[in-house]
């Protein structure tokens, strides 16, 4: 089942995405953010909270005088390490308790600092590699079933109820569990600490919660003989920190988009571009598959109209990911089944879009999101829309398949809803398993024409973006009709230009691990 598509147009789109992203990467290379710096500390081993429950990575980065930020946190922290002989965790506690300040060690030579950091950097890189190897070992011993991989969310707000729900879902057949975050966590400029039981529409992403869920899933993986993947969100103001926590806790996937925060969360674009880059280098190295957020174009605006924007965003996300050293096999580009159920031949459009994405990104583990916007209180109708989504997914060989819930318009999923959703997907994907292999599209018919239209409109859109530059394009509302000023939005105050002596030991280590050129 192949669409005849204009491969020259695809080629031109990719080239334009490169042209769009290249100048942004230059910008990124010259800047850093507080979140990147906190992430450096976390990777070194800093964790826990200090005064007023402030996470120590925040406390320490914030303790750095603003004029010193441009050099990065690593050198000042390294100086303290060298001088105190403490390990990073102990040093952080000491700083949190006021027993030391970074300023004390200003005179320690950089070389000593680098030397003191080196073993901890190596240890972190080793730990990441170990966790990755552990995933590989488990996956080869207890492999997942064939894709589409059934993915469900848990979102009770309480990590222990979530655990119950996750285990039940795995028993029913889920292969990927995502713990939805509490509303608003993406706008917090810190990562909460410890196990949590009170979230709102979701459960806080904390390292303790990651551990609790990872442990439960490893246990049920062994029992069920299939590796179950764990997903969370490296989105919002703490992208790199969550990416580092996820690396250490062996999460397998992270929601991570190069523009989602800008467009849909009003996070400053510079902050986002810098943060996504560092987080993606980490994800690349940890073997974590990212999930991009193109589905959001479709839920907030008309899905038929937004299809070209989705494709354009996929090209851009792909390019950003490549530049962070990420191979195609880790780039879970997003798409969604969001065309109104009332549209005649809407199913044909969905098939066209899903197949187009499949062919343009043949090696990407595509993430296919279920119908949400047009789901209503009519759970019976909703279950049917989900069924055609499931059919489209198996026909077009999507990889990561978010199971749609018949109660999508009503509440975050009940345990029983998840079971029905998985039943739905399993029934459809089994009874129509090879349907996609057994049909061809009529040349020049409605499906091919739609795919061709989407591609050519995407090309036009990318041409506009190339001309303006990405930042300017976002400023003028090219994406999702949302306009965001380059220096507006949340988290802009956490962005800073690097000095000549800026140092981030993990940047070099990660670039090296990914086979990327060194910066500058």
Partner 1 sequence: MSDQIVKPYGDTMNDGRVQMSFTLPISWSEAADEAARQLVAKMGFEEVQVVEGRAIASGFSFFVVYASTPHGIDAAAIKAPSAKAHAMSMDDVDAFVRERIGRKVRVAGACIGTDAHTVGIDAILNMKGYKGDYGLERYGMFETMNLGSQIAVEEFVRIARDRELDALLASQVVTQKGSDIKNFTALAELLEAEGLREKVVLICGGPRVTNLMASELGYDAGFGRGTLPSEVAAFIATSMEKRGLR
Ligand X SMILES: Cc1ncc(COP(=O)(O)O)c(C=O)c1O
Q: Which positions lie near ligand X, rule CB under 6 A?
A: 181, 186, 233, 235-236, 255, 257, 260, 265, 293, 296
Q: Does 377 bind partner 1 (CB under 8 A)?
A: yes
Residues 6 or more apart whose CB falls under 8 angstroms from that of 27 comprise 270, 273
Q: 367 catalytic, yes or no?
A: yes
Binding partner selected for residue 341 from its own copies, partner 1, ligand X, none, CB under the kind-specific 5 to 8 Å limit = its own copies
Binding partner selected for residue 375 from ligand X, ligand B12, partner 1, none, CB under the kind-specific 5 to 8 Å limit = ligand B12
Q: Does 485 bind partner 1 (CB under 8 A)?
A: no
Binding partner selected for residue 62 from ligand B12, its own copies, partner 1, none, CB under the kind-specific 5 to 8 Å limit = none
d(CA 176, CA 420): 16
d(CA 403, CA 425): 7
Shortest approach of ligand B12 to residue 313 CB, angstroms? 15
Shortest approach of its own copies to residue 402 CB, angstroms? 18
Tell me if 169 sits within 8 A of 152, measured CB to CB: yes
Q: What is the dihedral of CA 475, 480, 481, 483, to 10 degrees?
A: -30
Task: Specify the stretch interacting with its own copies by CB under 8 A; choose among 60-68, 191-199, 341-349, 495-503.
Answer: 341-349
CA atoms within 13 A on the CB side of 324: 34
Catalytic residue among 59, 151, 227, 260: 260
237 versus 473: smaller Cβ distance to ligand X: 237
Q: Does 371 bind partner 1 (CB under 8 A)?
A: no
Interacting residues with its own copies between 430 and 449 (CB under 8 A): 430-435, 437-442, 445-447
Backbone angles phi, psi at 234, to 5 degrees: -100, 70
Shortest approach of ligand X to residue 232 CB, angstroms? 10
DSSP 8-class letter at 361: S
186 versus 209: smaller Cβ distance to ligand X: 186
Q: Which residues pair with 151 in a beta bridge?
A: 176, 402
From 11, 99, 141, 411, residue interacting with ligand B12 (rule: CB under 6 A):
411
Other CB atoms within 10 A of residue 4 CB: 12
| Whether the bond into 148 is cis, omega within 30 of 0 | yes
Binding partner selected for residue 412 from ligand X, ligand B12, its own copies, none, CB under the kind-specific 5 to 8 Å limit = ligand B12
380 versus 442: smaller Cβ distance to partner 1: 380
Q: Does 300 bind partner 1 (CB under 8 A)?
A: yes
Interacting residues with ligand B12 between 28 and 87 (CB under 6 A): none
Tell me if 462 sits within 8 A of 17, measured CB to CB: yes
Residue 79: both structure tokens together: 């100086």
Tell me if 197 sits within 8 A of 160, measured CB to CB: yes
Residues 6 or more apart whose CB falls under 8 angstroms from that of 446 comprise 345, 348, 352
d(CA 246, CA 128): 10
Angle, helix 110-141 to helix 74-84, in steps of 10 degrees: 100
* Catalytic positions: 260, 295, 367
Q: Where does this chain bind its own copies (CB under 8 A)?
A: 341-348, 351, 378, 380-381, 383-385, 387-388, 391, 406, 420, 423-424, 427-428, 430-435, 437-442, 445-447
Q: Where does this chain bind ligand B12 (CB under 6 A)?
A: 155, 180-181, 183, 201-202, 264, 296, 299-300, 372-373, 375, 408-412
């Amino acid at each position: 089942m192949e669409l005849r598509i204009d491969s020259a147009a695809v080629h031109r789109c990719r080239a334009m995405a490169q042209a769009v992203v290249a100048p942004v990467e230059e910008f990124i290379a010259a800047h850093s953010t507080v979140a990147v710096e906190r992430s450096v500390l976390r990777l070194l081993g800093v964790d826990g909270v200090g005064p007023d429950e402030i996470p120590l990575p925040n406390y320490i980065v914030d303790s750095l005088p603003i004029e010193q930020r441009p050099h990065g946190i690593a050198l000042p922290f390294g100086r303290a390490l060298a001088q105190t002989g403490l390990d990073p965790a102990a040093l952080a506690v000491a700083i949190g308790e006021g027993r030391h300040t970074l300023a004390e060690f200003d005179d320690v030579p950089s070389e000593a600092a680098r030397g003191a950091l080196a073993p901890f950097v190596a240890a972190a890189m080793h730990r990441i590699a170990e966790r990755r190897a552990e995933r590989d070992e488990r996956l080869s011993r207890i492999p997942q079933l064939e894709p589409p991989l059934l993915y469900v969310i848990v979102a009770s707000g309480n990590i222990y109820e979530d655990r119950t729900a996750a285990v039940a879902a795995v028993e029913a057949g889920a292969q990927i569990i995502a713990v939805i975050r509490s509303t608003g966590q993406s706008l917090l400029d810190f990562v909460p600490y410890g196990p949590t039981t009170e979230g709102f529409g979701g459960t806080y992403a904390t390292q303790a919660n990651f551990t609790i869920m990872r442990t439960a899933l490893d246990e049920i993986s062994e029992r069920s003989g299939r590796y179950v993947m764990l997903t969370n969100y490296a989105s919002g103001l703490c992208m790199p920190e969550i990416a580092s926590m996820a690396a250490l806790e062996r999460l397998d996937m992270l929601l991570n988009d190069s523009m989602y925060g800008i467009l849909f969360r009003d996070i400053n674009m510079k902050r986002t571009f810098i943060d996504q880059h560092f987080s993606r280098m980490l994800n690349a190295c940890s073997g974590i598959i990212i999930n991009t957020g193109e589905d959001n174009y479709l839920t907030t605006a008309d899905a038929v109209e937004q299809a070209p924007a989705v494709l354009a965003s996929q090209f851009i996300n792909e390019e950003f990911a490549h530049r962070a050293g990420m191979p195609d096999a880790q780039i879970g580009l997003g798409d969604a089944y969001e065309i109104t159920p009332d549209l005649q031949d809407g199913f044909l459009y969905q098939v066209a879009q899903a197949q187009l994405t499949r062919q343009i990104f043949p090696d990407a583990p595509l993430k296919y999101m279920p119908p949400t916007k047009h789901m209503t209180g009519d759970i019976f109708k909703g279950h049917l829309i989900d069924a055609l989504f499931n059919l489209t997914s198996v026909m077009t060989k999507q990889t990561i398949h978010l199971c749609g819930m018949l109660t999508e318009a009503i509440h975050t999923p009940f345990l029983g809803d998840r079971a029905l959703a998985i039943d739905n997907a399993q029934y459809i994907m089994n009874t129509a398993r090879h349907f996609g292999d057994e049909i061809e599209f009529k040349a020049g018919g409605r499906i091919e024409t739609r795919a061709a239209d989407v591609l050519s409109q995407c090309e036009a859109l990318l041409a506009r973006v190339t001309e303006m530059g990405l930042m300017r394009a976002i400023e003028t509302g090219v994406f999702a009709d949302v306009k965001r000023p380059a220096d507006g939005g949340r988290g802009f105050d956490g962005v800073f230009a690097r000095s000549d002596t800026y140092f981030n030991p993990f940047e070099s280590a990660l670039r090296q691990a990914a086979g990327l050129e060194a910066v500058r």
